[in-house]
Chain A
Amino acid sequence: MRSLKHITVALLALIIMLSAFSCSDKACYEEMDPLLYTSLLESGTGDSKKADSVRVIAATPSGQVTLFKQNAVTFFTLPLDPANDLSEFYVIVNGVSDTAVLTYTRRPHLVSAECGYTFLSDLTGLRTTHNIIDTLIIENKSVSLDGEKNLRLFY
């Protein structure tokens, strides 16, 4: 049993050493950005419809920022303004521009101790012009980290 005594004392030293060396900062590997997922659908049939080009510009307080720009897509994803309960977008589909305004509520959400917090949103309303967009409807109001579809854009 004397060896048990030695093991016990040695382990105290080991625990202290491991703790002292384990204080380095860890990196953040988790997904931090909740994205608004919008499906592009054909007006009338509701079938998925590939757009030749899609560009979405955010009207931020400091100016316009391109959030999405891609050719031949059937959906696009966008971040929402984390500082306001309203985001205004210029949605340009096949070269034709519309304005969409989304309103929502925000709440902090802890991702991990390493990454910190993000803001999840619940959509409360939307308005849009109708140059190329026929209808824009909310499919799922929760904009989270799950990647679920949120809006249906018929054009």
Chain B
Amino acid sequence: MAKRTCVCFISLMILLGGRVGAQDTVTVPLNIRAGFDISGPVMHLIGSDLTSYGAMASLDINEQYSASLRLRYSSYSISEFNYDFKSSGVSAVISGDYNFLKPKVSAGKYFTGIGLGYGISFYSQEASRIEYTNPWGTGTDSFSLSRHTGHFIEVTPGVRTELFPGVSIGWNLVLRMLISSGAGRDIKPVWMPGFGDATSRMSTGAEYYVSITIPYKKIRVAIKPKKELTDDEGEENPESEPSGSSFAPGSRL
């Protein structure tokens, strides 16, 4: 009796083990992406004072983490009733991105996640006209072209999807926190390339990237085993098979 029970148990283990092993991993392609931001040129076309061109490259490190580099050239010019200001420069942001989607859902094509990055801006600025008026009269001044280096931190929640094989589109909301404008307290830039209005510690923006996706490696990722439904659990596991197929005939819903 004991021998038959043991053989039956081992057979069950082998059967179950084989079934679980087949469903426990998923193949995910890791990609390299290169693209450009289309929001900058669009904004310029609709009459913005800002000219901004951005390019990005990213590399999937594993199924959920990726590293990215975003480069941007910006030129800003504004003429107000009491000052004229110009700035231009190049900024670079290096960031780590985390995909909230499960590997089986993302499949190397979809991203809904958040990035945290460090940005550096190499820029020049000048104010060719500064006017200030009080009861005495009007004082005028200016400052000539000067070069500075600014630093900031970026948080970028966003989404990305595959438009068609090999091409992705995605947008990021960008929240930036200024570490330093590098220009001192008095002549902080009205617009710091890559950051925005540097008179404020925080700035926001949005980027919209079209990118080419090139898979460079495929990895097998273990996924959580399918969860059995019990009487206490009313919800289906999102990673389980489509509705209905995971229930044994006659099981209660």
Q: Chain A interface (Cβ within 8 Å of chain B)?
A: 1, 4-5, 7-9, 11-12, 15-16, 19-20, 23, 32-33, 58, 60-62, 65, 67, 79-84, 87, 106-113, 116-120
- Chain A interface helix/strand/loop/mixed: mixed
Instruction: Mark B residues whose CB is within 8 Å of A.
Output: 38-39, 42-43, 46-48, 78, 80-83, 105, 109-110, 112, 127, 130-141, 143, 159-161, 163, 169-171, 185-188, 190-191, 197, 199, 206, 208
Nearest-neighbour CB distance to chain A for B226, whole angstroms, equals 21
The residue in chain B whose Cβ has the minimal distance to the Cβ of A58 is B136
22 contacts between A and B (CB under 8 A): A1-B110, A11-B159, A12-B38, A12-B39, A12-B169, A12-B208, A15-B208, A19-B48, A20-B46, A82-B138, A82-B139, A83-B137, A108-B130, A108-B143, A109-B187, A110-B187, A110-B199, A112-B197, A116-B81, A117-B83, A118-B132, A119-B139
Would you give the shortest CB distance from B185 to chain A, in whole angstroms? 8
Report A-chain residues with C-beta under 8 Å of the C-beta of B109. 1
The answer on a CB contact under 8 Å between B170 and A8 is yes
Distance from B173 Cβ to chain A, minimum over Cβ atoms (Å)? 9
Nearest residue, chain B, Cβ from A110:
B188
Q: Looking across the interface, which residue of chain A has its beta carbon closest to that of B200?
A: A112
Task: Note all chain B residues with C-beta closer than 8 A to A116.
Answer: 80-83, 130-132
Among A8, A33, A65, residue most surrounded by chain B Cβ atoms (within 10 Å): A8
Are A8 and B161 also in contact (CB < 8 A) when A82-B136, A110-B187 are?
yes
